[in-house]
């Protein structure tokens, strides 16, 4: 499983319209035997709903990128012989888990879809009108009128995807996150020796022991001021909200590991202080530089004691097994 720039879409706007209800019939019974029968008009059918449903097999909103309007069918009108009109067909919009739905006009949060097959009615179809048979009384034996169907609802919504992953890779641009993802999963993210090579989140599945696995996401690099929208800013910080554990990946060539870790942590806190409640693991990358224990100890002295640190090399594979073990222990 992997996402790429070409197929990853995490925000769309859609105008939704549910179907109108069908009108009831004002038919009066007439046949060869009955010339002046009573009312036998049937009810109109319900208009189709617009329903949104979570599907764990979807990872992006790409399928909705070019869908600007969604309208369900109207209910059919009632007929004679008390026959009811057919209900309009419901339209179901399938979205990935972690999709947040907002009302565009009011900017109000509506709901978030977090579980498989969880669904909500975005626009409820209009009720069908009653046929004239409902209006017959002792003093009004042949009502020649019926009830019109109700109009369907209209709603403009925004769908915003927050990636659901067990582990999120956090770091500065060009810290080696995409390289790490490519060696511990089957994902093939774009890799380059320049900032912001990763422009969209990438997902991969880490295969662990005994056929067990967990999902890890590579989030585009965070820079100072990201919480204000600088760099790739808010657009991708929101994806970190849904990760259970955060891996802070810092290159060994950086002069001050602790300063970078503090900067990354501060940006997350300023965006949403709840980020600090997540489990964390500090990973020092590019450890293929033959670092001796003395140098490693000098790095460990500069970082907080309350965070576990692992040294890895995505090139040589050193420390990757330990990294998987640490992540599995955190997740379980």
Contact 331, 166 (CB under 8 A): yes
Residue 42: what pLDDT? 97
- The kind and range of the H/E element at 233 are helix 233-240
Burial of residue 255 (CB within 10 Å: 0-12, 13-18, 19+) is exposed
Q: Return d(Cα 162, Cα 177) in angstroms, integer.
A: 19
Residue 285: what pLDDT? 84
- Tell me the residue ranges of DSSP E strands in 262-324: 279-285, 309-311
Residue 132: what pLDDT? 96
Q: Return d(Cα 57, Cα 321) in angstroms, integer.
A: 28
Residue 229: what pLDDT? 43
Tens digits of residue pLDDT in 292-316? 677 778 778 878 777 899 999 888 8
Name which of 193, 186, 188, 190 is nearest 215 in CA terms: 186
Domain segments of the chain as ranges: 1-161, 167-331
Name which of 175, 176, 170 is nearest 315 in CA terms: 176
- The kind and range of the H/E element at 236 are helix 233-240
Per-residue pLDDT 10s for the chain (332 aa) are 444 445 678 899 999 999 999 999 999 988 777 677 889 999 999 999 999 999 988 888 989 999 999 999 999 999 999 999 999 999 999 999 989 999 999 999 999 999 999 999 999 999 999 999 999 999 999 999 999 999 999 999 999 988 778 999 888 887 788 888 888 987 664 444 434 334 467 778 899 988 888 988 887 766 554 444 444 445 567 778 878 899 999 987 766 888 888 888 888 888 888 888 999 999 998 756 666 677 778 778 878 777 899 999 888 888 899 999 999 999 98
Name 214's bridge partners: 206
Q: Do domains 1-161 and 167-331 have the same CATH topology?
A: no
The CATH number assigned to the domain with range 167-331 reads 3.40.50.300
Residue 1: what pLDDT? 46
Indicate the pTM of the whole model.
Answer: 0.70
For the domain made up of 1-161, the CATH class stated in words is mainly beta
Residue 235: what pLDDT? 59
Contact 16, 155 (CB under 8 A): yes
Tens digits of residue pLDDT in 202-214? 778 899 988 888 9
Q: Return d(Cα 286, Cα 311) in angstroms, integer.
A: 8
* Structure tokens given for 179: 């390289």
Tens digits of residue pLDDT in 63-88? 999 999 999 999 999 999 999 999 99
What 3-state DSSP class applies to 180?
helix
As a whole number, the mean pLDDT across the chain is 85
* Structure tokens given for 304: 């907080």
194: Cβ–Cβ under 8 A, 6 or more apart, which residues?
A: 174
Q: Return d(Cα 332, Cα 329) in angstroms, integer.
A: 5
* Structure tokens given for 285: 């990358």
């Amino acid at each position: 499983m992997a996402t790429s720039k070409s197929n990853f879409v995490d925000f769309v706007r859609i105008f939704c319209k549910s179907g109108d209800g069908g009108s009831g019939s004002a038919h009066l019974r007439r046949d060869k035997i009955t010339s002046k029968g009573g009312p036998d008009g049937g009810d109109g059918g319900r208009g189709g709903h617009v329903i949104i449903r979570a599907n764990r097999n979807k990872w992006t909103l790409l399928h909705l990128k070019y869908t600007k309007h969604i309208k369900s069918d109207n209910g059919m009108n009632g007929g004679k012989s008390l026959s009811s009109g057919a209900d309009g067909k419901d339209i179901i919009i399938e979205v990935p888990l972690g999709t947040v739905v907002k009302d565009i006009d009011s900017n109000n949060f509506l709901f978030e879809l977090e579980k498989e097959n969880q669904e909500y009615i975005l626009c409820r179809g209009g009720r069908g009108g009653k046929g004239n048979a409902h209006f017959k009384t002792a003093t009004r034996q042949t009502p020649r009128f019926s009830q019109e169907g109700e109009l369907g609802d209209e709603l403009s919504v925004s769908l915003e995807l927050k990636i659901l992953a067990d582990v999120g890779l956090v770091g500065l641009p060009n810290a080696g996150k995409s390289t790490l993802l490519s060696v511990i999963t089957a994902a093939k993210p774009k890799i380059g020796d320049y900032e912001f090579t990763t422009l969209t989140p990438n997902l991969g599945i880490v295969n662990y022991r005994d056929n067990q696995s967990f999902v890890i996401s590579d989030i585009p690099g965070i820079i100072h001021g990201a919480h204000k929208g600088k760099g790739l800013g808010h657009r991708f910080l929101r994806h970190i909200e849904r990760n259970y554990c955060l891996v802070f990946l810092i290159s060994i060539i950086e002069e001050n590991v602790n300063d970078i870790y503090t900067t990354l942590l501060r940006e997350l806190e300023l965006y949403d202080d709840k980020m600090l409640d997540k489990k964390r693991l500090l990973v020092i990358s590019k450890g293929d530089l033959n670092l001796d224990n003395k140098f490693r100890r000098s790095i460990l002295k500069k970082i907080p004691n309350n965070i576990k640190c692992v040294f890895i090399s995505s090139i040589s594979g050193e420390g990757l097994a330990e990294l998987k073990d640490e992540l599995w222990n955190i997740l379980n």
